[in-house]
Structure 1
Amino acid sequence: MESVSSSIRGALDRAGIWLSSLCLLHCLASIIIVSALGLGGQFLLAPEIHRYGLAFALIIAAVAIGWGALRHRKAAPFVTAMMGLTFMGGALAVPHGVQEAVLTIIGVTLVSTGHILNLRAHLPRTH
């Protein structure tokens, strides 16, 4: 049972890293495509994408990092991810544009780092 729960938590951490990476790519691509080519602004910059993305990130982080924190008792993954989620939430409070992109990019980078730290906290220690 221990290995099953560990593999589920690890899979959620990896999903969180991928989700954060996709969000980062979305932010950068949106800025480049919309500003350079003037294409896709209605879809790429839609507020719904950010709201749903944040909700999904919150669920994955709560389960994977919360579960991990209870198991390994290390604060760094939890604190790092929560700071990232706070930045992502702050991005929803500002108008679309550079401020939103910067806050989101900082946020997803921190959330992804939290997931990486969470995965590393579960690695067996070798001396």
Structure 2
Amino acid sequence: MSSHAHPRYLEWIESHADRLAIGLSGLCMVHCLTSAVLLALLSTAGGLLLNPLFHEVGLTIAIGFGILALGRGIVQHGYMMPAAVGALGLGIMAGAMSLPHDSSGNETIWTLVGVGLLALGHDLNRRAVN
């Protein structure tokens, strides 16, 4: 095995990272909308889903996939735009975490905007690689 060879699972992850990240973005959107609905209906169940640790871990995973997939795209196709759009989305998501979890919905709205931009960045990246 040469020093440049990757185990098969890493090759699979690298080749599917953008699609996985888009799927995770979709799950994040579902989580945000579900949390808002559950918070309105059942304050105890909504409280569990709105735990700050849940959001911090989710953002950390999103940043990891962003670095892996969008960084790989820059190396493969040389376009910065997908990474810039994705980074903007991650920044908006991180900023939304500083907003209060209240009935105004501002935190949810800004998170959804960030997740949408991140998913767009991954989609642009996926299209540029193929």
- Contact residue 24 and residue 105 of structure 1 kept, 8 A: yes
What stretches of structure 2 of length at least 5 have no aligned partner? none
User: 1:117: which partner in 2?
Assistant: 124
- Counterpart of 2:110 in structure 1 is 103
Give the CA deviation at 1:53: 0.5
| Counterpart for residue 25 of structure 1 | 30
Task: Give TM-score, length-normalised by structure 2.
Answer: 0.85
Corresponding residue for residue 79 of structure 2: 74
* TM-score, with length taken from structure 1: 0.86
Percent sequence identity over aligned pairs: 36
Report the alpha carbon displacement of residue 112 of structure 1 after superposing the two structures with TM.
0.7
Deviation at 1:60, TM superposition (A): 0.6
Where does structure 1 differ by over 2 angstroms across 4 or more consecutive aligned residues? 4-10, 36-39
Deviation at 1:6, TM superposition (A): 6.9
Deviation digits for residues 59-97 of structure 1 (CA, Å, limit 9, x no counterpart): 010011011112101122111100000001101111113
Distance 1:8 1:45, change over 3 A: closer
**Structure 2 counterparts to residues 28-43 of structure 1, below 5 A:** 28-43=33-48
Change (3 A) 1:6 1:75: farther
Q: How does 1:45-60 map to 2 (within 5 A)?
A: 45-60=50-65
RMSD over aligned CA atoms reads: 1.8
1:90 aligns with 2:95: yes
Aligned residue-pair number? 121
| Cα distance in 2 between the residues matched to 1:76 and 1:32 | 34
